[in-house]
Structure 1
Amino acid sequence: MDDDQRYRAVHGRDSRFDGMFYIAVRTTGIYCRPSCPARTPKRENVVFHPTAAAAQEAGFRACKRCRPETTPGSPEWNIRADVVGRAMRLIQDGAVDRGGVGALADAIGYSERQLNRLLTGELGAGPLALARTERARTARTLVETTDMPMTDIAFASGFSSVRQFNETMRAVFDRAPGEMRGCRTARGGSGTITLRLAYREPIDLERALGFLGTRAVPGIEEYRDGVYRRTLPLPHGPGTVELSAGPGHAVCRLRLTDTRDLTGAVRRCRRLLDLDADPQAVTEVFAADALLGPLAARFPGLRSPGHTDPAELAVRAVLGQQISVAAARTLAGRLVEGYGTPLAPALRTGGLTHLFPTPDVLAALDPEGLPMPRRRAATLVGLNDAIASGRVDLGPGCDRDATEHRLLELPGIGPWTAAYVRMRGLGDPDVFLGTDLGVRKALTGTPDDKTWSPWRSYATHLLWASL
């Protein structure tokens, strides 16, 4: 889009572009989301920024009326496979907070100087500023929706000190954290942090939760009465999450060993439910298609669920080769019971008892002792050895093409398995599982799936839903 197109979107208060760009008003020093209900400023008084961080770096403060920092993330980062897209996924996952800009640059394979130049040139802000915006967004949510002490919020959000937390909140929101607390609408209790996760309408959240529930593995997942629960392996210790549908948002209840993992846990939950998707953009691509057009109208807001742990997803993809979903669940449950890490009593809730076995644990197993065909057991052990050694990178900043290529090099990993890992484990919105049995049953011919790009993962899910 050029600036004139952006201004027309702002004039029409088009919410589809919330989170994709921001409008800043020179005369007020405020930046807003495109759908802000305030009077549209004159064209000569506005400037557009690709990210909230860029607007903040230019000296603008967040609008108190439309609260631009609460918009869903841009779906652009799910689509893009270039260095900037990979870096943004890592920053949103908390990579800068955990290891600094140096660790982020190493993960991407660039120098700090190169990475800073790339991000500043395209997004108007460097990695530190982008991470600062993520921290401020998380902190405001915690201030307004929980009773956590301010000191705990500061460190849970990724700030290195309470002073830095206070200064950032004043600079970004023009208010001290204590002044925001009066807006509190929900509370965390008994060690639980309750958050509201935003998304773009429409959304079929019940179907997404049901999709996960159908595949729930005993011990690490359960789905009951519309609530999906699962365990989370996180950098500073395990956690658990409960996800359900709320009025206009997804309800997320987290129990964490260390609150420093909050940002990463929320990002994993957003990927799991595909909350940053742009359903209207998907529908526009499918509308003219004779097969998918009616399905998109029949299932509005269908999501492409991801996963909280790509390594676990990869193992489960191998287990599911040529067997039913129920049989794959049973096999995965046996692995959890035999080799998973038990949860601490304080984290146990419902039927959650374990973390899924880690790649290094599964890599050390004897294939002969696993309850599955010998060749598949060897594939499972070899896959985990490749993940544990780093030969296969499944992190949020990985190069998806390179990862898929390395998966296909492993014995027993075929195109369906590699593509399934790419679609759900790596969150790629443009994967079509054309060889999948369910997809083939739903197809009435041989489609040109390239015309469905960049949303072919949603085409896969629509075809599954049609069955």
Structure 2
Amino acid sequence: MTDQDTRYEAVRSRDARFDGEFFFAVETTGIYCRPSCPAVTPKRHNVRFFATAAAAQGSGFRACRRCRPDAVPGSADWNARADVVGRAMRLIGDGVVDREGVTGLAVRLGYSARQVQRQLTAELGAGPVALARAQRAHTARVLLQTTGLPVTEIAFASGFASVRQFNDTVRTVYATTPTELRAAVRATRRTATPSAGIPLRLAHRGPYHAGAVFDLLRREAVAGVEEVSGPPGGRTYRRTLRLPYGTGIVAVDERAGDPGRASAVHPGGWLDARLHLTDPRDLTTAVQRLRRLFDLDSDPYAVDERLGADPRLAPLVAARPGLRAPGAADPEEYAVRAVVGRAAAERLVRAHGKALDTPCGTLTHLFPEPAVLAQSASEAGSVSVPVAEAEAATGTTTRSGTTTRSGSRSGAGAEGPLGVLTAALADGTVRLDPGVDRDDAQQALLALPGLDARTIAEIRARALGDPDVVPPGLDVPDTWRPWRTYALHHLRAAEER
């Protein structure tokens, strides 16, 4: 929506489809909002539009306390786009600027810091520091309003360099002090203690077909690392996470009774989640990984409109509006699982996964790091899990929950597919982080001996979150672009009925 008059019409109709796609600010009040804000629509000549919340904040506007524009789903563009701006936004969302600075972001993108600054500012109205600052402010608000952590701890957990910087940012963005921001919700909401975890609502736009996502996660679940419990319609997905500063256990609930159908009144929604983190500085990264796993920043309206125009897909789209294309909570973990299959992945967890200090129900381990698996392969001549034997025992290899075929690859040794892949991931020959160029990553994977093109396509679709992937050998029409990954999920969901 590049035309400002068209954007204003979206604001007038309080159209939630565009939450996160753009923001509007009111010059007479000094407040910026999401398009679906329920407040009285301002006059057109008082409205300014911004591509990001950071740009609105940089122009001196405060976040609306009614619609909370900082809590909207992310723009679907950042997942679909392969250019430097899209890649930068994915990395900033993952917390790279907080951990490595603008220089680290630029190195990952392969550009100079000045080039990154110039491109982001030109298109989004804010540079990487401002974008990261807006994200830190949102993290701070979540921690203030949902936990009992001391304010000083929250300042550093949110990524701020000092308490003064934290206080100044909160005042600028929310027009209140951190203490007042916390007090405002205490009367209506009980904050959780750190040991009880951090409760969150993971927002999404449009209809969300949760059943298909939870079905897929249940089929793929690797024992010890993840589980899906409860009856259909009210299931909970839980898993362990290795994060930059520590570890985490996350739980996400399937909305009870949610059929995944659109509501004419309020088509958006959320998934309830709880995060138990050993270090609260990992909150932003953990949330972004969950958003990628559950494909919460997708634009189901654009996807369904394009695919629903095809006679073959139209009835499937009508039956499952808002069907998502799940990603991965840990791209490197998913790549290993795609190569070896679930049965062997469970053996890898038992043999090489790091045990949790305190098991949480059936969750007992972190998935082993590529460096650990590569070292095991190098020292022993093979990873101490007979992959071929594991696949032969089950007769099948399940990858991505979409394809089941006989185990055709053998060799978990240092020169086998698993050993080669983990060595490449460990030494950086293959990168699968959120900001990697997907074509470069695919070429690096193709250069590894023993990895077939179909497995690499699965890694690209899931680990790299590419919405337009077709495995080799499948003939699909170009009219399904740029959502061919979603089209294949519709076809597979129909086959599984």
TM-score (norm 2): 0.87
Deviates more, 1:9-18 or 1:183-192: 183-192
**Aligned pair 1:387/2:430, yes or no?**
no
8 Å Cα contact 1:376/1:412 also seen in 2: no
CA deviations 1:111-161 (Å, max 9, x no partner) are 111111111111101111000000111111222222222222222211122
Query: Match for 1:234: what amino acid?
Result: L
In the alignment, what sits opposite 1:231? 240
The equivalent position to 1:195 in structure 2, one of 191, 200, 203, is 200
8 Å Cα contact 1:336/1:357 also seen in 2: yes
Offset of residue 463 of structure 1: 1.2
CA deviations 1:136-192 (Å, max 9, x no partner) are 111112222222222222222111222211111110011112222232535434252
Aligned equivalents of 1:31, 1:53: Cα separation in 2: 11
Report matched runs for 1:437-456 at 5 Å.
446-448=475-477, 450-456=478-484
8 Å Cα contact 2:424/2:430 also seen in 1: yes
Aligned equivalents of 2:371, 2:476: Cα separation in 1: 41
Aligned equivalents of 1:311, 1:215: Cα separation in 2: 16
Aligned equivalents of 1:38, 1:148: Cα separation in 2: 32
Offset of residue 458 of structure 1: 1.0
In the alignment, what sits opposite 1:103? 104
In the alignment, what sits opposite 2:21? 20
Secondary structure at 2:368 match in 1: coil
**Aligned pair 1:421/2:454, yes or no?**
no
In the alignment, what sits opposite 2:70? 69
Offset of residue 246 of structure 1: 4.5
Report matched runs for 1:276-287 at 5 Å.
276-287=297-308
Q: Residues 368 and 391 from structure 1, CA distance in 2 versus in 1: closer, same or farther, beyond 3 angstroms?
A: closer
Report matched runs for 1:135-284 at 5 Å.
135-181=136-182, 182-184=184-186, 185=189, 187-189=191-193, 190-225=195-230, 226-246=235-255, 248-284=269-305
In the alignment, what sits opposite 1:358? 369
**Aligned pair 1:398/2:436, yes or no?**
yes
Query: Match for 1:334: what amino acid?
Result: R
Aligned equivalents of 2:191, 2:356: Cα separation in 1: 24
Deviates more, 1:374-383 or 1:197-206: 374-383
8 Å Cα contact 2:145/2:191 also seen in 1: no
Which stretches in structure 1 are left out of the alignment for 5+ residues? Answer: 320-327, 441-445
8 Å Cα contact 2:432/2:464 also seen in 1: yes
Which stretches in structure 2 are left out of the alignment for 5+ residues? Answer: 257-268, 389-408
Query: Match for 1:205: what amino acid?
Result: A
Secondary structure at 1:203 match in 2: coil
Query: Match for 1:397: what amino acid?
Result: G
The equivalent position to 1:372 in structure 2, one of 387, 400, 405, is 387
In the alignment, what sits opposite 2:30? 29
Offset of residue 205 of structure 1: 2.0
CA deviations 1:403-422 (Å, max 9, x no partner) are 01111111121221111111
Aligned equivalents of 1:164, 1:206: Cα separation in 2: 43
Aligned equivalents of 1:153, 1:206: Cα separation in 2: 35
Aligned equivalents of 2:98, 2:84: Cα separation in 1: 19
In the alignment, what sits opposite 1:290? 311
Query: Match for 1:332: what amino acid?
Result: A
Aligned equivalents of 1:452, 1:187: Cα separation in 2: 46
Aligned equivalents of 1:263, 1:137: Cα separation in 2: 9
Identity %: 56
Secondary structure at 1:353 match in 2: strand
In the alignment, what sits opposite 1:323? none
TM-score (norm 1): 0.92
8 Å Cα contact 1:155/1:161 also seen in 2: yes
8 Å Cα contact 1:209/1:244 also seen in 2: no
Deviates more, 1:87-96 or 1:103-112: 103-112
Aligned equivalents of 2:486, 2:360: Cα separation in 1: 32
Aligned equivalents of 1:38, 1:276: Cα separation in 2: 24
Aligned equivalents of 2:335, 2:446: Cα separation in 1: 12
**Aligned pair 1:43/2:36, yes or no?**
no
In the alignment, what sits opposite 1:310? 331
In the alignment, what sits opposite 2:488? 460
Secondary structure at 2:120 match in 1: helix
8 Å Cα contact 2:137/2:170 also seen in 1: yes
Query: Match for 1:426: what amino acid?
Result: L
Secondary structure at 1:318 match in 2: helix
Offset of residue 369 of structure 1: 4.8
CA deviations 1:414-451 (Å, max 9, x no partner) are 2211111111101111112364xxxx7xxxxx531x21
Aligned equivalents of 2:128, 2:152: Cα separation in 1: 24
Secondary structure at 1:344 match in 2: strand
Aligned equivalents of 1:223, 1:460: Cα separation in 2: 24
8 Å Cα contact 1:375/1:412 also seen in 2: no
In the alignment, what sits opposite 2:356? 343
Query: Match for 1:257: what amino acid?
Result: T
Offset of residue 315 of structure 1: 0.8
Query: Match for 2:223: what amino acid?
Result: P
Secondary structure at 2:75 match in 1: coil
In the alignment, what sits opposite 2:346? 333
Secondary structure at 1:81 match in 2: coil
Offset of residue 40 of structure 1: 2.0
Secondary structure at 1:198 match in 2: strand
8 Å Cα contact 1:342/1:353 also seen in 2: yes
CA deviations 1:197-236 (Å, max 9, x no partner) are 1111211223312211211011111111111111101111
Secondary structure at 1:73 match in 2: coil
Offset of residue 376 of structure 1: 4.2
In the alignment, what sits opposite 2:406? none
Query: Match for 2:458: what amino acid?
Result: Y
8 Å Cα contact 1:93/1:264 also seen in 2: yes
Aligned equivalents of 2:3, 2:24: Cα separation in 1: 13
